[in-house]
């Protein structure tokens, strides 16, 4: 068996399509009308068609559960955050933050309140700490990454 892709149900396919294109730079690779697939494998399905697929009334399809997220990585988080700050209608789950292991992240909602996390890759985090003068051992301890991974980041 092979996992193929996540699928999000959306209330307005055109609005969600524009959101994922403008915010994340995803491109549509398949368009079936009520379902589209983007580069990276994310698919969007209209709520109306989803209701018929799973044989449930609209009242049983809810949004904004805050119980799952899509995760993206961005090597230049500062540039992304600057671009995000200039966009209208972005709703933040929380402002940018740094986790205890040093990774900086931001979480936002898409138009249907699905959570999206954008975080720095751990390679970028490790390089940032190395550039700040930390030893590979200190970086490994702070990031919880193996020292071998840290040494590869130095190349």
DSSP 58: G
Residue 17 located in a structural domain = yes
Mean of pLDDT values over 111-129: 96
Tell me: pLDDT of 8 over 90. Answer: yes
40 within a domain of the structure (yes/no): yes
Per-residue pLDDT of 67-81, as tens digits, reads 999 999 999 999 999
**Pair 143, 126: CB distance under 8 Å:** yes
Number of structural domains the chain divides into: 1
User: Rounded CA gap, 10 and 46, in Å?
Assistant: 5
105 within a domain of the structure (yes/no): no
Per-residue confidence at 55, pLDDT binned at 50, 70, 90? very high
Question: Is position 139 within any domain?
Answer: no
Q: Is the residue at 11 inside a domain?
A: yes
Instruction: Say which CATH number the domain at 41 has.
Output: 3.10.180.10
Direct distance between the N- and C-terminal alpha carbons of the chain, in angstroms, rounded to an integer: 36
Q: Does 136 reside within a domain? A: no
3: containing domain: 1-55
Q: Two tokens at 129?
A: 């700490």
| From 6-15, 71-80, 146-155, the region with the lowest mean pLDDT | 146-155
Laid out side by side, the sheet with 35-38 consists of 7-10, 43-46, 35-38, 28-31
Q: Extract the tokens encoding 90.
A: 């972005």
Q: What is the pLDDT of residue 155?
A: 82
pLDDT at 92: 97
Supply the pTM of this predicted model: 0.92
Rounded to the nearest 5°, which phi and psi values hold at 46?
A: -70, 145
Tokens for 152?
């590869």
Identify whether 4 is part of a domain.
Answer: yes
Mean pLDDT of the chain: 95
């Amino acid at each position: 068996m092979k996992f193929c892709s996540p699928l999000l149900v959306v209330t307005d396919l055109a609005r969600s399509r524009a959101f994922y294109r403008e915010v994340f730079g995803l491109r549509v690779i398949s368009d079936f009308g009520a379902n589209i697939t983007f580069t990276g494998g994310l698919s969007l399905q209209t709520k109306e068609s989803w209701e018929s697929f799973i044989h449930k009334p609209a009242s049983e399809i809810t949004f904004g559960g805050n119980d799952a997220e899509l995760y993206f990585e961005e090597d230049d988080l500062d540039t992304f955050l600057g671009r995000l700050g200039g966009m209208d209608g972005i709703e933040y789950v929380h402002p940018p933050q740094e986790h205890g292991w040093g990774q900086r992240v931001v979480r936002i909602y898409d138009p249907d309140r699905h959570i999206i996390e954008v975080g720095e890759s751990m390679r970028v985090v490790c390089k940032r700490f190395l550039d700040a003068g930390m030893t590979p051992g200190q970086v490994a301890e702070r990031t919880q990454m193996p020292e071998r991974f840290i040494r590869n980041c130095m190349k």
